[in-house]
Chain A
Amino acid sequence: MLIYHGAEAKLYRESFLGIDSVRKVRLKKSYLAPALDKGLRSSRLRAEAKMLARARQAVATPHVLFVGTDEIIMEYVEGKTVRELFLSGDTSCAEAVGEGIRKLHNAGIVHNDLTTSNLIVANREVCFIDFGLAQASTSLEDRAVDLAVLKHMLSSTHYSIFESVWPRILKGYGAEKRLKAKIAEIESRAKYR
């Protein structure tokens, strides 16, 4: 059953070897040069499979059950996305979100696509999904970009609660001064800051 049709992929909920699972099929993009499209899909699929497994040692992520050429099958995670929770006014998970990102970073992974749709709160734990843009890195710059992207997304989409939520995410992360300064530096590089 098709449960989501996004920009990157279609998600089907189905049973795989009796396990409640999600099949994520990466979509061909007709507008891209074919060589570019093919390269992106395969590199992201590989990154996702690898990083999902690696991240699992630090934070909650769905189990990967099968990796094909254009698709990944993973365990279905029951819960609400942080986006849904934030939009309903429930921000109680903010610190836990920050804490989860810290654990991920400490495990040497930057996600590169941290949005509130890619975080699911399941069993009071923050589960990370969608690792297609993730990479192995421990650099301050990459970690700060990871957080700056999330901050940007929060301020545009959850603008009414942004001011109260962002400091709590940073607190949960335990962000040190030089990281905060780096985020400010990255923002200042963007046009007209």
Chain B
Amino acid sequence: MICLGIESTAHTFGIGVFDGKPLANKMASYKSQGGIHPREASQYMALHATGVMKDAIKEAGISLSDVDVFAFSQGPGLGPCLRVGASVAKALSKYYEKPLVGVNHCIAHIEAGKYFGAKDPLVIYASGANTQILGFAGGRYRIYGETLDIGIGNALDSFGRQLGLGFPAGPAIERLALKSDSYYALPYSVKGMDLSFSGIVTAASKIKAKREALCHSFQETVFGMLVEVSERALAHAKKKEVMLVGGVAQNKRLRTMLSAMARSHGAKFISPRNEYNADNGLMIALTGWKMHNAGVRQDSLKIRQKWRTDEVDVSW
């Protein structure tokens, strides 16, 4: 069975093909000076959809009529962007008379991680808009901790914008941070297993210091908070694996910190390769494939901009 999955929640239009193993994973990502302008991002996606599709089909060595089931990211995400993926998926499903599966974007990140080795992990999902610490219990992914305001990636981007580093700012911050080890104290806001990032961005804008030192201090603070609440959640949920997913998982410093934390509790650290960690179509394809195989029935295939991870019944 071949599943073709379409991702289009924020900045990346991606198409993946999965038939029990990955056959293709192609994408085009919107970049800008400031952040994501939803309409511009969706126009970018509409412009690149056909090209990405052709590349993916070619890489997989199939034609569209070979696809048995189509999947798309139904939410959460930016409305205009979600609509692009949904329209393409719905058109293909109608034209080729094949079933269509709506996939939760956050769950897809987790499923991608599980495909690459995790069994029952504590999940740290760190991306632009999302920052959640989750674990599976009683048929759903429960959210043990999450940001009370903005996502960790958005915090990095806002901070980066102050320094004129462009979007996404994470990689530039990571590079600059390596060049300094002077630490300036920033607000450290942890409440139970929840976190708050917004005050740190403001505080960082008021410190007069070299960019390198600011980047170092900012990373150490926000990652320190995230790893600390993850450690609390690990002790609390008593899981044996720690899995890092989402776009911010590409940051090496965060990976080093989390794996050191996991090791100190005798837990295994897992994080998929970048290609499967950043937003991508393959994670949608493999989740759709699993859901369809398990016979999941869905009442509605309308996009859901605010679809929470813990609302999904994971029956597959």
Contacts and interface: CB of A to CB of B under 8 A. Distances in A.
A112 B228 CA distance: 15
Interface of B: 76, 129-131, 137-138, 140, 142-149, 151, 181, 183, 185, 188, 190-194, 220-221, 224, 227-228, 231-232, 234-237, 256-258, 260-261, 264, 305-308, 310
B144 A156 contact: yes
A189 B306 CA distance: 12
Contacts of B256: 31
A117 interface: yes
A180 interface: no
Contacts, number: 106
12 contacts: A7-B235, A31-B224, A31-B261, A33-B183, A40-B188, A114-B192, A133-B191, A156-B142, A157-B142, A190-B146, A191-B130, A193-B308
Contacts of A156: 142-144, 310
Given A36-B220, A133-B191, A159-B137, A152 B143 contact: yes
A8 interface: yes
A33 B231 CA distance: 16
A29 B183 contact: no
A192 B306 contact: yes
Nearest to B235: A7
A65 interface: no
A114 B192 CA distance: 7
A1 interface: no
Q: Size class of A's contact patch?
A: 35 or more
A189 B257 contact: no
Contact of A32 (B131, B181, B220): B220
A36 B129 CA distance: 26
A190 B138 contact: no
Interface in A130-147: 133, 145-146
A192 B192 contact: no
Nearest to A34: B183
Contacts of B129: 191
B307 A192 contact: yes
Contacts of B151: 191
